[in-house]
Every structure is written in C-alpha cells, then in structure tokens.
Structure 1
Amino acid sequence: MFIMSALTSQIPMTLGGSRFPGGVGAMLIEILPFLRGVAIDIRGALGDDHPGLVPTVMAAYALSSILTGVAFLLLGLLKIGSLVAYFPQTVLTGAVGAIGLSLFVLGLGLPLSPSATPLALSNVASTLFYKGHLGILAASFFPALILAVTLRSRYVELWTRGFSRSPYYVPVCMFTVLCVFWIVVRSLKIRHEHLITAGWLFAVHPATSSSALVASWNYWALFNFKLVEWWAFKSAIQNLVLSVVIGVLNLPIYVPTIAFTLDMSYDMDHELLGQGVGNIFAGLVGTIPNIIQYSYSVYVTRAKGGRFELAITIALSIALFFTAGLLLPYVPTILASVFVLFIGIELFLEAMWEASKTLTWMEYGVVVSTLVACTFLGFAQGFGVGIGAATFVYFMYGVIDSPARVTRWNEWNELQQTKNQDEDHVSAPLEGRLLLPRNHTPAAITLNVPQTSAVLSTDVKTVADPDLLQKLNARVLVLSGYIFFASVPSLERALLSSSDSVAFFILDLERAHRIETAAARGLLRCVRDLQLKNSVLVVCGVRQLSGLQADFARAEVPLVFDPASAGTEKGVPAFVTREACLVWCQKESDRRMALADKVEGVDTETMNGAFETFCQLFDFELDAVLNAEGLGMLPAVGPTTTQMTGFIEAGGHITTYLPGQNIQCVGIAFVVEGELHRISAAPTADTGVIRPSVQRLFTVLPRETLRALRNRFPALARGEAPRVRVFKPGNVLDSRSNMDRVVAKTGSSVVDIRGGKLIAWAQATLDGQTQTD
C-alpha cells in the first residue's frame, strides 16, 4: 500500500500535476497515528471477531484519501494557494531543519531489531548504545557522516577531480555500502537468520509459493464491500477529519520550502490541484493518502533528475510493487539507515548552518524555535509557534527602529529636499501601496542635481520632462516602513508578472527604514529572473553605512553605489536620491542604444591575445581540464577563438581594466597583464545600526574586542598601517571572500574563474601558489 500510494502520487505529478520537474511523491507519513486511531475506533465499535472489521478499516483508509484529494481540489479551485506566499521564510527554514532532525531520528531507529523497544527520548541510551547494537549504529552513522563531509570538502573535490559534485556520487557511495556489506557477510559466513535476528536485515515473511507471492502484494483481497459496516465510520469521524486537516496543513509547508531551497518559482494553486488528483486516484485504488516529499524532491532535482527520470522511476516502482517480497530480504537495514541519516544531516545543516550566514540573531531565533516546536509538538503546532515567534520579532524590530536619531545637517537637508520634491510631484499618498501601471501616472520629475551628489555629471540635460519614465521605459515601485516577508508576493507580482518588456524597475526605498533578511534575499530571485528579460532592477533611497544598506549586505544582495564604473553585472545599482537614479538610467539607456549599433566582435582580437597569454602563463590546457569533467569537446591545438568561446561558456571571464579602476572579481582571478595592488581595508567605525548575521557575529567578535582594547589602550595600535600587496602577470588572487580593495595600477587584463567546470582547476592552481608563497 505504501508503494501504491507513492505510485498514485508520482504518476499525476510527472504528467504535469506539479511545476517541479523533480518533484517526488510518497505516502503522507504524518497521518500514520490518525490512521491507527481510525482502526482502533472501528475495532472498538465492531469488536475483535467481527468479519467486517478489516474490510471496514480498508474502506475508511480509501475514504481518507478521497476526502484529502477533494479538500486539495477545492482549495486549488478557490485560488487559496496564493495566501501561502505570505508565510515567513524563517519559519519555513525552521521546518526544513525539523524535517532533517526527524529523518535523522528515523534513520537511527531503522536498523533496530523487530524485538527492540521503539526509539524514544526516554530510552535513547539503553536502546541505541547497548552492546549488541553498537556495530549497526557505527555502520549506519559513520558512512552517512563521511558522505555529508565529503560533499562539502574542497579537498575531496580536488582529489576526485570534481566527482564529489557529480549527480552520481551519492548513488555510487550507497552502492559501495551495499557491496561492502555482502562481501563482509560472505567472507565471515554469517547465517541469514542471524543477520535478521541481530537487525542487519529486514524481517520479511518468505514467499514459498505462488499464492504467497500474490498475497504479498494483492491488498485488494482485503476489500469486501458486502461486509463493510458503514455505520462504524461515525466512531472514527474525528481521526478521519484530523488526517485530512494534517494533509492540508503539510502541503503549504512543503511546497514553498522546496521552492525556497531550490530557488525556483512555484504556483501553489497548481500544486493543490495536482495533489488533489493524486489523492483521489489513491482512494480509487484503495490505498492511503500521499503528498509531495521535500527531501526526495530536493535531492532528485539536485541530481539533475526531471520528468523523464521520474518516468523511469515509476516503471521501476511498478516492478517493485510485485517483487518487493523477493528483493527486500537482501537489502541491509544499514543501507536504508545510511541514506535516511545522510538526508537528515544535509537538511539540518542546510537549515541551521546556511541560515546563520545571513539571518540576524532574532531571525535565527525564529528558525530555532520553529525547529524545536515542530520536533516536540508536531509540524502543524510547530508552524503556529514559528509564526508567533516571527510576529514577535517584527514587533521588536518596530520598537528598535522607532526611537529618534541624531542626523547630520547635510543628511537632514538632503532628506528634507527629497521630501519636498515628493510632495510636489506625487498627487496621491504612496504609503502602503505599490505603483502599478494602472494606478500610477508619472509626474514631472526634475533632474536638478543637489550639490552633495558626487555621482551626477553635468553632461546630462537637467530639464523637467513629464514623459521621462515612458522614454526610459521605466516603472517605479515604492515601499515604506519595515519591509518584511509579506511585502515579497506583491513585489514579485509587480516585477515579474508584467507581459510588457520594461527596461528599468526603480525600487524607491526612501520611506523604508529597514528590510528583513528573507525579503532582501527575495530580491535576488527577482534580479535573476529580470536578467532573463533584459531588465534591470535599480534601487534608490538607500544611503551608505545605513541600517538599510547593512540589511542588504547581510542578505548578500550586492548593492553597487558607483554603477558607472562597476557596471550592472556586479550587482544591483543603488543611489541615494531619485534624481541620481534617473540620471544613471538615462545614461544606461543611451549606452544600450550605442552598443546595439556597434558591430559584434570588435574586441575579439584583444581577448584572444589575453586568453593565449593566460594559457602560456598558467600551463592551461582547455581540453585537459574539460576532460576531467568527461567533456573533451575541443582539440588541444593551442588557444583559438573556438577554445576561448568554450572557456567562457565553461565559467571563465576575460576583462581588461584601465589604470585606477577597481578590479571587480567574484571568483579566482588570474593576472595576465599589468600590475594590481591589493590594499587591505582599514577598519571602519561601528555605525551602531548594523545587524550582523549569527555567523558573522561570532566571526567579528574577536576583532571587535581587539578594536575596543586598542581604543582603550592606544599604545596597542602603534605601527598599524594599511598593507599593500602587488600582483603581477602569473599571480593568482582569491576574491571570493576577500573584502580588500584591488586596484589596477597600469592597464591590466584579468581572467576571472567564477565557477562551473573550471573551479576545481582554478582552486588547485591557487593552492599551489599559496604553498609556494
């Protein structure tokens, strides 16, 4: 019935019932206690010896699937799914960690022998660590731990030539565990019965005849509608309703979490309809409810699995449905345990460790509280606790950000000037709503430049133009107050749902004072999707060293306050004033028009020369490096235009810089020509408004402590000066985590390896130079 439930879920999903190509469905595990309650209630009503007991229970299970499917269909048809977008991302992250923790506990209990006491908090020590179980525990836990560590280790990636990043790495490791187990068993000549008794193999009733084989999968023989006592359903109505409610509550948790983890867009109404069809299908074939699975869907998608691969999985599952009784006796329990433990460790680390890199300590507290509540109270109750904690955090941030602050004269003067311009040019109050095409009439905006704006130039006409936004093909959106997760759905709709091609989306944050980490990270998805449409997101109203800018930095949103020199490829253009933003948009629009008139390939000869020098300086052979990934698509005849094109497609970037320009690299950079100076950033004074992430808080704590000591005892700071390191052709620098400024002292050419198939080779070259230095 479990396998059939997975099939009835997977078939509709693979045929288009889910927008996730790698979505995997299976039985809804969370309702097992309620299904058990249904059986107990019906047994209490009919008695143990009633001939209709089993048929009535089977009919009740099928009815629960049909009711769950009908509930999903109604919610999808009523378009209720859009409300799910307002769930806090911090709560979803905590739910992911709880799923990982529950899977970890499940993995620990899988190898326990049938006669062992079920695993619980009260008997962990006596059940897991008694002498007879230590071997199984070690054989399950350590392979899973090693697998999780090797997936994250850069040294293992180099040693395996990138194979640890391959979609086949996890399956190969699991197959290795299976082979090692049976090699050891055969070499020690351990009897099959002893392995079952000790818990190394699953206990399966042997199929000694064809009738027994049929009985192992033919659960339909348990149905007999003539014996069903329909009146007994009245005694189980409470557990039936709870099973439906739990299913309805779990789907809004899983779907946004899958989309958040995989960084994909989703349509909740579509998923509701697909899951409704799958559950009604399950009820019609007499099995139990099902739902899309978070962990399986994430790992199938990361292993490059899609609808074709899942169609093959459906065929294999059908074969397994008939042969499970024959295959399961040869599957070691540690194989299942290793896989479940590995997924649990990965999900837990993804929720707890990755979240600590971007969330503040209060937001991180929401994650932890949701995880703990989901673990000890249940997912539905834990979700409610998480939402309550998130509401408390937003209330606290409102209190923290509300006190009056002392402002410098020039900053106050600029703010007042912007406010006056807003009152002159906006005919309706903007607080609390987005400016959409249907309700926004662009007013006359002057480009008179304040004297304090250093980013503006005098070569742009500064006359009032009421049609400026139409000429720029720009759309303005205004957000105010504290921006949190509830602002994301409307913002995404305004940015991404438009069928018109918009060149510039101007996000005005002049009235916003802070932004939540999850909301800021939501802008990254919008920026990525807008790039596919050749649109640019521009931010105005953000001041450097402000709390709002610190929130963006913590969320890893790269705001570029000097886009004229850095370019839009390096991040999101940001401006203090609206006028500076419009001037840049006008210049960028003119630049695009000029580029469109140019002949493509003007700098091909220069780039070819830089690529050839790069290959000579660093002994780079494109064919050899790509062969390490199994490609080998280019002949190793020497650097050619074709090879340079393949190099760029594989993740390489060739850039030339003029003297004085800042080097904008985001990966491992190879100096090909010229001279670069890396200048260590001088410590900056604490602005008092930055909310560091949890991980950064512990990282900067020693440095901030040392800075406080130096301020208290000035003698400790003597001799401290910015360090300058010179890079010449043949040198390599790592700019992925380095915050120092790198400047081109002469005309320079730099090759930047940002990822893809070349990162392993680049890292090995960097490590070699580091050891030499």
Structure 2
Amino acid sequence: MFKTLKNDIPASIVVFFVALPLCLGIALASGTPLFSGLIAGIIGGIIVGSLSGSKIGVSGPAAGLAAIVLTAIGTLGGYENFLVAVVLAGVIQLLFGVLKAGIIGYFFPSSVIKGMLSGIGIIIILKQIPHFLGYDADPIGDEAFLQVDAENTFSELENAINNIIPGSLIIGVIGLLVILFWDKVLAKKAKFFTIIQGPFVAVVLGIVFFVVTQNHSSLAITQSHLVNVPIPDSFSSFLGQLTFPNFEVIASYDVWIIAFTIALVASLETLLSVEATDKLDPEKNVTPTNRELLAQGTGNILSGLIGGLPITQVIVRSSANIQSGGKSKLSTIIHGFLLLISVLLIPRLLNKIPLSVLAAILLVVGYKLAKPSLFKSMYQLGWKQFLPFIVTIIGIVFLDLLKGIGLGLIVGIVIILIKSYQNSHFLHKEVDINDKNHLKMTLAEEVTFFNKGAILNELDKIPQNAHLEIDVRKTQYLDYDIIEILDDFIIKAKDRHIEIKIISTQKTIENPESFVKFYNEITPKKSKK
C-alpha cells in the first residue's frame, strides 16, 4: 500500500472534502444528531477501509438509508433504541458474509450498474446546483425527488435561481473553474499539480474568500451557507457527543424487523456499489464480496455501539477516490483519520468552508459519472443494453435508488428471457491430460449475465503461466457483461503470464489485446443490432 502514498494522500484529501458535508447532511436528513454522521464516516474510513478487500471503495453513511432511519427512529421511540437495530443489522451482515451471500451482486447486468452510476451522477448535479447558487434550505444529500415540504427536485432548482447568494455563487464558480483548469491543464504540465489536487486548492480559496469578504455586505457568506461541524470544548465534551444503544429493547419484534431491513438494504447498496466501483477502477481489481459484507457488518456493529448511522459502501465517495487517483485502501483509511482529526482539532476552520465550493467538487464528480459519451456508447450497443440503462436512470432520478435499480433489473431480465428462451447456456472447461497448464474453455450458444459468477470463478482459478483457449465457435449470443469480463481478464492475464488463444468460426487469434475488438471483428453488424 505504501508504494502508492503519492497517489493516495491527494485522493484522500478530495474524498475527505466530499465526505464531510455528506456525513453531516445525511445525519440531518435522517433526523439524527449531526455527530452520528461523522462517526459513521470515521468508522467507514478507518475500520471498514482496513477490513475491506476493496482497494478503492469508500464506506460511510448512505443517503439511501436516510428515509429508513428517520421512520425507524419514530417507530422505535428514540435514537438509543434505533442504535440497537444498527448493531443487530451488523450481526446479520456478518451472517450474510459467512453464508457467502456476496454473489448476489454478480446477478445485476452491466447496463443496470452503468445506469445506476449515471442516475446517481444526475442526482448529484441536480441536488448540488442549489448549493452552488447559495440556496441551502434543504440538507445536502437529500436524494428524494418528491420532498416532505411539497417541493420536488425541479421546483427546488427554481427556488434556488430566485434566491441566489452572490458571494456563494462567485466562490462556487471560481472553485469550479480552478478544479477544471487544474484537471485539464495544470495536471498535465507538472507532477506537483497531481500531488496537490484542484479540489483542495478550491477549498483553500473558499476559506480565504469567506475571511476576506465577511465584512463586505454584498459578498459576505453567512453561517447558514458554510459547513457546520459540531465544536467540542474538550476531549471529554467530544466523548460526550457519543450516544449508546439501549439494549433493553433487544427483544422487541420491531427492532429485529428494522435490523433485518437495514441489513438487507445496506448489503444490497454495498454490493451494487462494489460492482460499480470495480467497473470504474482503471486497474480492474475485483473486490471479494463476501469479505466486503463481513467488513460492513463489523463497521455497523461498531457504529451502532457508539452512536453512528448505518454504513454502506458509497459510490459517490468511491468514484471521487478513483477520479482523484486513489490506488490502494490507504486513501480510504487516511480520509477516515482526516475526518477524526478535523473534528477534534480544526472544527472552527472547517466551519469557514462555503458549501458552494463543496458543491463545485460534487458537480465535477456527478458529470464524470454521467458523461454524455456514456449515453452515446450505450445507445450504440443496441436496445437490449440501452433500455435497462435508461429505465434505471429514470427510476433513480424520479423515484429512489433501489426502485430505479429494481425497474432496470426487471427490464433486463425480461430482455434476457426473450433472448434466451430458445437455448440453454453453459460453461465448459477442459484440462489437457498431458499438460495441466493447458486449458480450454468452451462457451455455449447463449451466454448471459446469469453466467457472470460462474465465469468469474473459473477465470480466477486459472493458474499463472497457463495457456488458455477460449472457444466461441458455438456461441450465437454473448451478453455484453460477459464480453466485459473477458476483456478485463485479458488485461489482467498479462500480469499473471497467462497466454490466451481465442477461436471462432471466422478466425483464431493468439494473445489478443482486447476481447471487445476481437468480438466486434467477428460479429456481423446485423447480429450486433
């Protein structure tokens, strides 16, 4: 891990600035003490980050659980009672990990995962525009389209336009321009500009702007438009902010129902985030999902014991980590320590950061998740990929995360059933008796995303220095998810010194550079459509 410190430290700073307002905002949206969100962020970074097998995934409180938390506290009659459910949810997640339930994540098609990423990116943009303009009436992290105050995402945008705060807008624009210029121009000029990241510079400029203009009536930014971190008077008062569970209610039926609900939703969100994060990872690392469930369960037990919110792996923070150059889990762990140190030592300095600058950072993150080029590429892949993709996005933006994913998954399954009802699908691997390092993998007529888990398992078992033949002569339909898996394997095979031969009816190729390129060459245009 320590070999990548030069990448991980700058990335951890960016993730810290993204995580800080989200931890506070999610706690506010959940109806819990603000400190509970910071506890979850600290444990998600340090504890879950240390135990997880993911190199670039970041865990913390999730906005998708805010509505469940808010309702559960009312049902259980207090936050202390709710914390018991959080602890039990962690225990249930440990059980999920032991039972190897992590394989569930492999049954979500690539189009739905990419739709989830794009949908979250669009939500980030829509929800951060008001804060960018200086309109901070709603808590950061409020992902709901229809809100409890009878407003919705678009009406809030209209309200923001009618309530622009000049100082917030100016420093937000400056911060956004600095981030873009740093990323597109300066980072390519000298190594220094890759170590000191643009978002960090934008935050520093935001603090300077607040200090300089606080006595200027037209540009001054008031406290309601700044980060709001609880300020402890001493270490004892810091500990005094901790809340402990009331285990007297552990036998309550409602506590166990809510615990199971949190465990199920948190595990699902984590597994989807793991799948999405692995797709974004430029080094194509594969996160062990069962170990991730064990790490998340441990984190939730500890978070519940000291007053923290439920924890999941979070795609917003994970994608910020990847986009900022994070290479190992050290960036996640350092970001957790930065949260802890900042709350202890510099809360007053943090409370001078304008929310519009943090919104500028998140606008860039949102755009990178929902690039127009992704929509174009998914459309070009054909309706079988584009329809689940776009349905997932619409569902996430206008309903919520899990409903959007559910709708996209239903559409994806219907398409697969339509395509697969004529033929069965299987995976067959042969070992040469004379040379056990010589393997042959034959794909069936129909190979869909249902086969992802089996294929990943077989490819992972292939030893170093092996020779693998992949026979696709019988294959009539190869799902894009499987194409991606084989393409990723070809990239990683070089590091494992595995020689690859691909055999089709049209051609045979040794050690291909890309399975996608090979598949496009052997597939007639009519078939791809």
- TM bucket (normalised to shorter chain) is 0.7 to 0.9
- Please give the secondary structure, in 1, of the residue aligned with 2:295: helix
Q: Distance in 2 between matches of 1:148 and 1:318?
A: 29
Q: Distance in 2 between matches of 1:39 and 1:395?
A: 41
- 1:151-170 aligned at under 5 Å gives the runs 151=183, 156=185, 160-161=188-189, 167-168=194-195
Does the 8 Å CA contact 2:82/2:255 hold for their aligned counterparts?
no
Indicate yes or no: 2:156 matched with 1:124.
yes
- Pairwise CA distance, 1:160: 4.7
Count, aligned residues = 478
Q: Distance in 2 between matches of 1:229 and 1:371?
A: 43
Which residue of the partner structure matches residue 243 of structure 1? 262
Does the 8 Å CA contact 1:65/1:279 hold for their aligned counterparts?
yes
Q: Distance in 2 between matches of 1:215 and 1:471?
A: 68
- 1:617-632 aligned at under 5 Å gives the runs none
- The residue type equivalent to 1:4 in the other structure is I
Indicate yes or no: 2:54 matched with 1:32.
no
Indicate yes or no: 2:209 matched with 1:186.
no
- Pairwise CA distance, 1:249: 2.0
RMSD: 4.0
Q: Distance in 1 between matches of 2:266 and 2:426?
A: 35
Q: Distance in 1 between matches of 2:150 and 2:201?
A: 28
- Pairwise CA distance, 1:325: 4.3
Does the 8 Å CA contact 1:258/1:294 hold for their aligned counterparts?
yes
- 1:477-488 aligned at under 5 Å gives the runs 477-488=441-452
- Given candidates 195, 204, 207, the residue that maps to 2:221 is 195
- Given candidates 363, 375, 396, the residue that maps to 1:374 is 396
Which residue of the partner structure matches residue 22 of structure 2? none
- Pairwise CA distance, 1:150: 6.9
Q: Report Cα offsets for 1:314-358 as digits up to 9, x if no partner.
A: 333222232464233311111221122221121122883474386
- Please give the secondary structure, in 2, of the residue aligned with 1:512: coil
Q: Which has the higher contact order (CA 8 A, sep 6+)?
A: 2
- Given candidates 308, 313, 333, the residue that maps to 2:355 is 333
- Pairwise CA distance, 1:202: 4.1
Which residue of the partner structure matches residue 531 of structure 1? 494
Relative to structure 1, is the Cα distance of residues 175 and 218 closer, same or farther in structure 2, using a 3 angstrom cutoff? farther
TM-score using structure 2 length: 0.77
Q: Distance in 2 between matches of 1:385 and 1:506?
A: 38
- Pairwise CA distance, 1:100: 1.4
Relative to structure 1, is the Cα distance of residues 63 and 108 closer, same or farther in structure 2, using a 3 angstrom cutoff? farther
- The residue type equivalent to 2:123 in the other structure is S
TM-score using structure 1 length: 0.55
Q: Distance in 2 between matches of 1:246 and 1:472?
A: 43
Relative to structure 1, is the Cα distance of residues 65 and 540 closer, same or farther in structure 2, using a 3 angstrom cutoff? same
Q: Distance in 2 between matches of 1:131 and 1:219?
A: 34
Q: Distance in 2 between matches of 1:98 and 1:115?
A: 20
Does the 8 Å CA contact 1:64/1:244 hold for their aligned counterparts?
no
- 1:554-573 aligned at under 5 Å gives the runs 561=507, 568=511, 570=513
Relative to structure 1, is the Cα distance of residues 486 and 33 closer, same or farther in structure 2, using a 3 angstrom cutoff? same
Q: Distance in 2 between matches of 1:118 and 1:192?
A: 31
Q: Distance in 2 between matches of 1:387 and 1:575?
A: 28
Q: Report Cα offsets for 1:157-184 as digits up to 9, x if no partner.
A: 7x952669x6436x33442353266347
- 1:394-409 aligned at under 5 Å gives the runs 394-397=416-419
- Please give the secondary structure, in 1, of the residue aligned with 2:135: coil
Q: Report Cα offsets for 1:199-233 as digits up to 9, x if no partner.
A: 543467887xx47x96566223x5595xx873996
Does the 8 Å CA contact 1:482/1:515 hold for their aligned counterparts?
yes
- Pairwise CA distance, 1:129: 0.8
Is the deviation greater in 72-81 or in 483-492? 483-492
- Given candidates 487, 497, 507, the residue that maps to 2:461 is 497
- Pairwise CA distance, 1:144: 3.6
- Pairwise CA distance, 1:189: 3.3
Which residue of the partner structure matches residue 80 of structure 2? 59
- Given candidates 160, 169, 176, the residue that maps to 2:202 is 176
Relative to structure 1, is the Cα distance of residues 512 and 525 closer, same or farther in structure 2, using a 3 angstrom cutoff? same
Which residue of the partner structure matches residue 364 of structure 1? 386
- 1:335-484 aligned at under 5 Å gives the runs 335-349=357-371, 352-353=374-375, 355-356=377-378, 359-397=381-419, 432-437=425-430, 470=434, 473-484=437-448
Which residue of the partner structure matches residue 696 of structure 1? none
Q: Report Cα offsets for 1:644-665 as digits up to 9, x if no partner.
A: xxxxxxxxxxxxxxxxxxxxxx
Q: Report Cα offsets for 1:660-693 as digits up to 9, x if no partner.
A: xxxxxxxxxxxxxxxxxxxxxxxx9x9661536x
- The residue type equivalent to 2:195 in the other structure is Y
- The residue type equivalent to 1:161 in the other structure is K
Q: Report Cα offsets for 1:40-81 as digits up to 9, x if no partner.
A: 3345xxxxxxxxxxxxx2322321221221121111101121
- Given candidates 2, 5, 8, the residue that maps to 2:43 is 8
Q: Distance in 1 between matches of 2:162 and 2:287?
A: 47
Which residue of the partner structure matches residue 91 of structure 1? 112
Relative to structure 1, is the Cα distance of residues 278 and 473 closer, same or farther in structure 2, using a 3 angstrom cutoff? closer
Structure 2 gap ranges (5+): 1-35, 140-148
- 1:254-273 aligned at under 5 Å gives the runs 254-262=273-281, 263-273=284-294
Does the 8 Å CA contact 1:34/1:240 hold for their aligned counterparts?
no
- Please give the secondary structure, in 2, of the residue aligned with 1:286: coil
Q: Distance in 1 between matches of 2:402 and 2:55?
A: 27
Structure possessing the higher radius of gyration over alpha carbons = 1
Does the 8 Å CA contact 1:496/1:529 hold for their aligned counterparts?
no
Relative to structure 1, is the Cα distance of residues 134 and 123 closer, same or farther in structure 2, using a 3 angstrom cutoff? farther
Indicate yes or no: 2:488 matched with 1:519.
no
- Please give the secondary structure, in 2, of the residue aligned with 1:22: coil
Does the 8 Å CA contact 1:61/1:286 hold for their aligned counterparts?
no
- Given candidates 47, 50, 54, the residue that maps to 1:20 is 54
Does the 8 Å CA contact 1:38/1:240 hold for their aligned counterparts?
no
Does the 8 Å CA contact 2:89/2:263 hold for their aligned counterparts?
yes
- How many percent identity over aligned positions? 15
Q: Distance in 1 between matches of 2:238 and 2:130?
A: 24
Q: Distance in 2 between matches of 1:471 and 1:293?
A: 45
- Please give the secondary structure, in 2, of the residue aligned with 1:306: coil
Q: Report Cα offsets for 1:282-320 as digits up to 9, x if no partner.
A: 122232211222232233245235344444433332222
Does the 8 Å CA contact 1:479/1:509 hold for their aligned counterparts?
yes
Does the 8 Å CA contact 1:541/1:575 hold for their aligned counterparts?
no
- Please give the secondary structure, in 1, of the residue aligned with 2:441: strand
Does the 8 Å CA contact 1:97/1:351 hold for their aligned counterparts?
no
Q: Distance in 2 between matches of 1:329 and 1:192?
A: 20
Q: Distance in 1 between matches of 2:295 and 2:267?
A: 13
Structure 1 gap ranges (5+): 44-56, 403-430, 443-466, 544-560, 577-683, 693-773
